[in-house]
Structure 1
Amino acid sequence: MEKKPELSIVMPCLNEAETLAICIEKAKRFLENNQVEGEIIIADNGSTDGSQKIAESLNARVIPVKEKGYGSALRGGIEAANGTYIIMADADDSYNFEALLPFLTNLRSGSDLVMGNRFKGGVAKGAMPFLHKYLGNPVLSFIGRLFYKINIGDFHCGLRGFSKEAYYKMDLKTTGMEFASEMIVKSKLNNLKITEVPTTLQPDGRTRDPHLNTWRDGWRHLRFLLLYSPQWLFLIPGLFLIVIGFISSVVIISQPIVIDNIHLDIHTLLYTSSFVLIGFQFIVFYALTKIYAVENKLLPKSNRYNKLFKYLNLETGLIIGVLFLIVGIVLSYFGLNIWKHSNFGELNPSETLRIIIPAVFTILLGMQIIFFSLFFSILGLKNSDN
């Protein structure tokens, strides 16, 4: 029987005839020089420049991938790989396929994902566009570290290694350039061991323009980081709006706020009370997004998620919602009495709206809590803890 390879080197390919041969030759030299049992896989995404023949002539395996996209090509190549470990990199000769030993060594030592860091290893002059080097990559990497608490300095390095077992645990879904971010995020969410090693980046060896689109693909990365972190997208902004809106509303209800010649009164109270309602809507979306993502296996299920249905249930929501409704009705009664004492004539808005606005606000909030609790309980019907 043919010996199973330890390492599969996977390269996504779309019209890479100019640089594909040198990349394959470097990868073969690495395998030979380090006595690694391995294979080279070219995940072809529909090349029309003869890239497939070049790869076959150098004894690399060509895996045709019909579904377009960087992520699609890589998934096709990775899933066809036979190696225990996989190292992936672009076929544009910007990464050094002869310097893969630190990646393989860390994988052998038990790391699930080994990331390259181009900023630690060295970025050659002209290898990375100015916006990518000083804006896009640092900002997106910072957001990734902040949102997901991942100690990675270069989120978008295309040279990385991982075990085949870890790849299936990641359960990757995206098809485009955001595949790179998803791999790191899913590794963290599944408690996989992530290591980072220095690597170098050389100028792209092709004469044509790269497939990467700065603004479009940058937005796709940012969008993915936001959508996979409902805590930062919804929960934290929601809590911020509620705190600011509640404190401001309480102060204005007691008396107008005067700052120099600026008077913040009942008109401002309308906005501050709206902040609380909007903040609550953010939190509702956080809960619903979290449930959808977990139940559709986009995010792993955690102990915190299971507790969500234990403490946030229909009965609790109905009680809180009804209490808010009662407060709103009582305040409305007081407002009606003030109007009655004026023989249902003209009122002093500065006086009455300090009661009416909180009355309307608590009624609206109470109804939202009741409706949310009903919908939330429907989503949690199959949860055994509910």
Structure 2
Amino acid sequence: MSDLTLTILMPCLNEAETLAFCVRQAVTALRDNQVEGEVLIADNGSTDGSQQIAIDEGARVVNVPTRGYGAALIAGIEAARGKYVMMADADASYDFGHLPRFVPVLDSGYDLVMGNRFMGGIKPGAMPPLHRYLGNPVLSAIGRLFFRIPVRDFHCGLRAFRRDSILGLGLRTTGMEFASEMVVKSSLAGLRMTEVATTLSPDGRSRPPHLRSWRDGWRHLRFLLLYSPRWLFFYPGLVTFLVGFVISLFLIMGPQTVGRWTFDVDTLTYSLGLVLIGAHISVFAVSAKVFGTQEGFLPKNPSFERLFKFITLEVGLLFGCALLLTGAGILIYALMIWHATGYGELSPQRMLRLTLPSATAFMLGVEAIFGSFFLSLLGVNRR
């Protein structure tokens, strides 16, 4: 590895129309700002002569056989010779002349510096309304909510970072969701990040972009959800469980009237169903967290690890057995009532208020027991 300060990296797939302009702009930015650096093109199998254009303009080319935006950038980062890497698309939509806005911030100690197009300006026709007013704001807001990330433009293609810090994240997505993966994993790893203003110009190519709005938007959202078991599983599970539990307590003693509506055992049935669903989802939350930590794509959480010192397999088994005994006790009480009538006809509403909670306790007990074994199996390597 040489002592270069900066690698300007561009992924490339048939960018002959704009590549020469972008490489010249990048070379000029390095020269004018007296930065020791290189321009690196991560070519993803171009068939329009892009490789030779890049070489003729003074760039270095690395061939990446695995298709995909993320695959090209991962290979490019690995091949980069600079201490820092500044990446952007080779479609003339980003201004490499903004280099001075990024490098000094990295010199000050930040690991990742994002461009923000909404701060710097989006030129007419540069971003479709769907992306500008729905896709980018919504996905960026979800990212900030889930991961407490201090940037407002998650998907800006112009960004700069410390090469060794980003390599240490083990980035692996090969598609457009790579943009989200870099930001999310940087946050989870505790890297310092900030943003600076940049601009977005209309795409300089005559052909349609590689980006597919709905497909790639879903892939970004899917990634954000999968990397946040709390928001995907735990919070929905907890809310569902509590709503079902509160309604069940409200109805367990008898029908309740609110205004002109009367709620009885039918509502109780569905509320206990919410309790079961909430419990199932919560088990998924813990399982996903343990599995993600074991596989290395979620960081270790000291609070979560301490929790497992108290919530062990044995504690789970005892809790499950207690639920089974509770269900059995309610069932025995119901049988005693039936016996007292000579095993004759009973009030359905009265008996459902016993048998439904009993069945719910049985199911929760079984889930607690087998869920505890499953979590213990997932956590074998941890212990």
TM-score (norm 1): 0.97
Equivalent residue for 2:299? 300
Q: Structure 1: which 5+ residue stretches go unaligned?
A: none
Residue 382 of structure 1, CA deviation: 2.8
CA RMSD of aligned residues (A): 1.1
Q: Tell me, what secondary structure is at the counterpart of 1:346?
A: coil
Alignment of 1:130-141 (within 5 A): 130-141=129-140
Q: Which whole-Å CA distance do the structure 2 matches of 1:154 and 1:301 have between them?
A: 27
Alignment of 1:87-102 (within 5 A): 87-102=86-101
Equivalent residue for 1:222? 221
Equivalent residue for 2:128? 129
Equivalent residue for 1:369? 368
Alignment of 1:264-283 (within 5 A): 264-283=263-282
Q: Which whole-Å CA distance do the structure 1 matches of 2:228 and 2:127 have between them?
A: 28
Please identify runs of 4+ aligned residues in structure 1 that moved more than 3 A: none
Equivalent residue for 1:108? 107
Q: Tell me, what secondary structure is at the counterpart of 2:11?
A: strand
Equivalent residue for 2:351? 352
Identity %: 53
Equivalent residue for 1:160? 159
Q: Does 1:63 align with 2:98?
A: no
The 8 Å contact of residues 111 and 194 in structure 1, kept in 2 or not, is answered as yes
Q: Tell me, what secondary structure is at the counterpart of 1:101?
A: helix
Equivalent residue for 2:326? 327
Per-residue CA deviations over 1:271-326 (Å, capped at 9, x if unaligned) read 10111111111111011111111111111112123223212211110111111111
Equivalent residue for 1:33? 32
Residue 107 of structure 1, CA deviation: 0.8
The 8 Å contact of residues 309 and 383 in structure 1, kept in 2 or not, is answered as no
TM-score (norm 2): 0.98
Q: Which whole-Å CA distance do the structure 2 matches of 1:3 and 1:83 have between them?
A: 7
Q: Which whole-Å CA distance do the structure 2 matches of 1:151 and 1:318 have between them?
A: 42
Q: Does 1:4 align with 2:22?
A: no
Residue 3 of structure 1, CA deviation: 5.3
| One-letter amino acid of the counterpart of residue 346, structure 2 | L
Equivalent residue for 1:150? 149
Q: Which whole-Å CA distance do the structure 2 matches of 1:138 and 1:13 have between them?
A: 27
Residue 171 of structure 1, CA deviation: 1.3
Q: Does 1:310 align with 2:309?
A: yes
| One-letter amino acid of the counterpart of residue 126, structure 1 | G
Q: Tell me, what secondary structure is at the counterpart of 1:352?
A: helix
Equivalent residue for 1:248? 247
Equivalent residue for 1:234? 233
Q: Which whole-Å CA distance do the structure 2 matches of 1:309 and 1:173 have between them?
A: 29
Q: Which whole-Å CA distance do the structure 1 matches of 2:382 and 2:309 have between them?
A: 9
Q: Which whole-Å CA distance do the structure 2 matches of 1:383 and 1:75 have between them?
A: 29
Q: Structure 2: which 5+ residue stretches go unaligned?
A: none
Per-residue CA deviations over 1:351-385 (Å, capped at 9, x if unaligned) read 1111111111111111110111111122222333x
Q: Which whole-Å CA distance do the structure 1 matches of 2:223 and 2:63 have between them?
A: 27
| One-letter amino acid of the counterpart of residue 266, structure 2 | H
| One-letter amino acid of the counterpart of residue 225, structure 2 | L
Q: Which whole-Å CA distance do the structure 2 matches of 1:103 and 1:245 have between them?
A: 51
| One-letter amino acid of the counterpart of residue 43, structure 1 | A
Q: Does 1:43 align with 2:42?
A: yes
The 8 Å contact of residues 77 and 167 in structure 2, kept in 1 or not, is answered as no
